[in-house]
Amino acid sequence: MQFKSLLNIETSFRQLRVFAIIFICLCAGITGYSIYSAYDFAEKQRQKIYVLDNGKSLMLALSQDLSQNRPVEAREHVKRFHELFFTLAPEKGAIESNIQRALLLADRSAFNYYKDLSEKGYYNRLISGNIIQNIQVDSIICNFSVYPYDVNTYARQMIIRESNITERSLVTNCKLMNSSRSENNPHGFFIEGFEVKENKDIRVIKR
């Protein structure tokens, strides 16, 4: 009887040890899953940006990797510069305002081109002739394999007079450097070595 009692005690002890091991493993599994879930949730929350729209509505936007946006921002920077620099109205204040905003996006090479046109009387002829100049950017080709980035821009200028519209082709080249973002330079780029490669008439349309 005494041997049987000892045997039952040993069996019970083994069962208790098995149950304890299973319980410990179960607790470890739950703890590990909880930590993983918490980390995953934190990562998803870091990928979200909450934007307050005029203090009224709350919008949720997913943040994207900066490297994915840089090519888009580069092309938009170059496009914005060309639109400001080459969109001109027959009014001195409007011309100076656009040119000044464009020059904030580029180095002295753009200013030198502006100064050259100004000395040749180009802007005075626009004003005296009541001429409007618009630009349409067709394509912007950026080489992101080498820094600073080489950029070629292909566009069309529309010179609008009272009697006709002259369409001109415009091809420019420049280098893009990374820069700090600001209110005047939201894309964080800076144009260097701006050069007009081609600017010639395509056709003249009578009005």
- Taking the domains of the chain in order of start, what are their residue ranges? 2-51, 66-206
> What is d(CA 86, CA 100) in angstroms, rounded to the nearest whole number?
12
Contact 166, 80 (CB under 8 A): no
* pLDDT for 5: 54
Least confident of 72-76, 179-183, 198-202: 179-183
* pLDDT for 181: 87
pLDDT at 85 over 70: yes
DSSP state of 148: S
DSSP state of 15: H
* pLDDT for 44: 67
Give CA separation, 127 vs 83, 89, 90, 200, in Å.
19, 8, 4, 21
Q: Which pLDDT tens digit goes with each residue over 92-143?
A: 999 999 999 999 999 999 999 999 999 999 999 999 999 999 999 999 999 9
* pLDDT for 56: 46
| Residue that has been written with the tokens 């949730």 in this structure | 41
Residue 187, number of CB atoms within 10 A of its CB? 20
pTM of the model: 0.68
Tell which wins on pLDDT, 31 or 199.
Answer: 199
Architecture in CATH for domain 66-206: Roll (3.10)
Amino acid at 180: S
Mean pLDDT of the 161-182 span: 93
pLDDT at 175 over 50: yes
pLDDT at 13 over 60: yes
Angle 146-106-86 (CA atoms, 0-180°, nearest 5)? 115
Tell which wins on pLDDT, 97 or 23.
Answer: 97
Least confident of 47-56, 151-160, 189-198: 47-56
Backbone angles phi, psi at 173, to 5 degrees: -135, 145
